[in-house]
Amino acid sequence: MAKLYFKYGAMGSSKTAQALMCKFNYEQKGFKVYIFKPIVDNRKVIDGKSVIYSRIGLSSSCNEFDKVFSFLDYKNSHIKDVEKSVIIVDECQFLTKKQVEELKDISQTLPVICYGLLTNFKTELFEGSKRLVELAESLQEIKSICRCGRKATINARLSNGKILLEGEEILIGGDECYEGLCYSCYKKLVDSKAN
């Protein structure tokens, strides 16, 4: 169904794997899938092509977007059959407010499915995530667990096991930089840093 979906979760919740499984499912049914990731996520390039890659080994070539990319222009020039097309955006927290608004407009004629983080390591909403919460018809949390077994809701930035509370909002990385934690475990790390 044509609408704007936002599927979010903490670090390690399988967002990218689910995006790739969603792509496969649509392709299996004969849909053309246009999958995107932000250009700042430069972790995976194979043979000079951008790739979306999940920690469990799923991958796909993809399109990239930056802060000035126009999804509307892309749709108008590349997507001919809106009845059998889908747009999937991975790491959608890096979208701008304007890009989310463009995706909302596009979702009036074809499904747009966004996967990403809700909040940054400072527990604040990303610009793209905030606008997606405001505009998406469907919000779905992708759950993951903390090291203690509770639900992970915080994207903690770590260095040598110590929590970082300051720094640039964007630092591309995976398990070496971030860990999904419950609030209780996050608070313990914050309190231990203060002491």
Output the CA torsion sign for 171, 176, 181, 183.
Answer: negative
Distance between CA 23 and CA 34 in Å, rounded? 9
Distance between CA 85 and CA 63 in Å, rounded? 15
What is the full DSSP assignment across 61-75?
E-EEE-TT--HHHHH
Amino acid at 41: D
Q: Which residues are catalytic?
A: 91
CB atoms within 10 A of CB 189: 18
Cβ–Cβ under 8 Å, residues 11 and 142: no
Question: Closest by alpha carbon to 5, among 111, 134, 152?
Answer: 111
Q: Where are the alpha helices (DSSP H) in 29-163?
A: 71-78, 97-106, 127-135
